[in-house]
Amino acid sequence: YSAAAAICRRALGSSIGTSRGEGARSAYYASCHPLNHYRWRPVNLRRMTSSTSDNKNAPKSSVERSVCPSTGTPLLTPAGLLFEHASIMSPRTSSDNTNDDELECLLPKDDDNFTEHVKPPESNFFFIPQVKLHDGDGSQRKRVLVLCTGGTLTMAPCPENGGALSPVPGALTDFMKSMLELSNEKMPDVVVHEYCPLLDSSDMGPPDWQVIARDIKANYLHFDGFVVLMGTDTMAYTATALSFMLENLGKPVVFTGSQIPIAEPHSDARQNLIMSLIFAARESPISEVTIFFHDRLIRACRAQKVNAGELHAFDSPNIPPLATTGIAIKENDHLILPPARGVLRVHTRMDTRLLALRLVPGFDDQILRHTIQAGAESGSLRALVLQLYGTGNAPAVKEDFINCLKIATDLGILVVASTQCHRGSVMMGHYATGKALERAGVVSSNDMTLEAISCKIAYLMGRGDLTKDEIGDLMCVSMRGEVTHSDALPPPPFSSTFQRASRKGRHYY
């Protein structure tokens, strides 16, 4: 165990690499991690499994909740727990009488309550077969866990709802059993879990994000990749939130869905599903939270839904896709983040006490003033996101508006400026109106999407160990590739030749 502990300490030595070429070293640390060599005894192996929420004999998870305590809306229930472990041992140890406390000392410790390290759950039961991924000879196919939350992909006309589309439990599992593509030796072994109840994506929120993050955590060491199927309406928010919640992610997590139900003959679900499985099980994986849709793989925290009526539903406004598909898969290697060098840390607290406002000409300042005062007095407002015009401009001649923002920052509310434009960046300080906002304490968000801004703020406030000023300083710092560094942004209009030349060729993605 001393050798294993030394390997763990080396793996925890640094949290981020400098190039994709360091993947071999990171993979070596991951393969030597003692948790990767557990020996398990499967109790009830099922190749395809739907939600076990209907099984009365299934043990209950400590995080299981069927409705939100505050709103009463239905929530996803955690994945069913199907397997019992025989022992937790390293393959180098011949005795099975190891004390669990000895294993626990090898795991990283965290004094606060805001993060969770990947370690064996306290329950005696586990979801999905807990077996080694590979035997070491390279002959075994990779394994991918598919988590289905619902969405258009699982829907069909429901006579009880007047023919309106409704989720059909078990439809995805039945469809995947009939897919001949999955029997190809180049495809991974697939395990499917359908949550119960299946939800429309518009009904999903932070409690459901926590369920998905916890299920990925519980099965992280036993699958090569993960595919999350859900509706497209809030997919960008969910995927962005997961990218912040899963720190030091070393395996691909691919979100996908469809614009046409899977039961329709011309559905786009088959292609999206197959390509997501391929990206989740590649030999050189893109170990990020991503969204695959139509023909492109997009970084989750850069994605936006831009079209509700065509198959090309998602776009990455300010950076190119990580990969595109056609006859061959073409990767933009310079955009892919370096592999993580630490162990996975799962953050499950998201503080969503924030408000996003889109300004329109002639808006009433008093409404904003009353909202800020009421939110500050009740403690229900900690951050305010303003979608401003162009490069982050607001009516500077309206002194009441600028004073209102100054009052908000003095009351401890973080005020963040974003742009209403689909492409481009906030450039505070270039125009006089931006200078007025800076003096009022407004923070720039550079070229982040609204989805990335809101989820990043919720993640940073949920940590509980950062002040308002520290969160403001981190808004323009790239944590998951969600923002472009200020030095790499395009130069502002009417800039000098020296300014344009000094920024040419700089890329911080």
How far is C-alpha 350 from the chain's CA centre? 12
Q: How many CB atoms lie within 10 A of CB 83?
A: 20
* Cα(265)–Cα(261) distance, integer angstroms: 9
* Cα(428)–Cα(433) distance, integer angstroms: 8
Tell the residue number behind the tokens 């989720």, with chain if given. 167
What is the phi/psi pair of residue 225, to 5°?
A: -165, 170
* Joined tokens for residue 129: 């077969």
- Secondary structure of residue 501 in the 3-state scheme: helix
* Cα(167)–Cα(150) distance, integer angstroms: 6
Bridge partners of 289, per DSSP, are 253
Answer for the pair 144, 188: CB distance below 8 angstroms, yes or no.
Answer: yes
- Secondary structure of residue 67 in the 3-state scheme: strand
* Joined tokens for residue 264: 């329709």
What is the phi/psi pair of residue 156, to 5°?
A: -155, 155
Omega before 339 cis (within 30°)? no
* Cα(12)–Cα(226) distance, integer angstroms: 23
* Cα(264)–Cα(175) distance, integer angstroms: 12
56 burial type by CB count under 10 A (0-12 exposed, 13-18 middle, 19+ buried) = exposed
Residues near 393 by Cβ (< 8 Å), separated by ≥ 6? Answer: 431, 433, 434
What value, to the nearest 5°, has the Cα angle with vertex 383 and ends 468 and 467? 15
* Cα(467)–Cα(473) distance, integer angstroms: 10
Reading phi first (left if > 0) and then psi (alpha if -120 to 50, else beta), residue 44 is in: beta
Q: What is the largest CA-CA distance in the chain?
A: 77
Q: How many CB atoms lie within 10 A of CB 62?
A: 9
Q: How many CB atoms lie within 10 A of CB 1?
A: 14
Omega before 197 cis (within 30°)? yes
* Cα(59)–Cα(316) distance, integer angstroms: 42
* Joined tokens for residue 33: 């991690």
Catalogue the E-assigned strands of 61-163. Answer: 83-84, 115-117, 125-126, 143-148, 155-158
Q: One of 52, 149, 152, 173 is an active-site residue; which one?
A: 152
* Cα(446)–Cα(460) distance, integer angstroms: 17
Would you call 152 a catalytic residue per the annotation?
yes
Q: List the catalytic residues.
A: 152
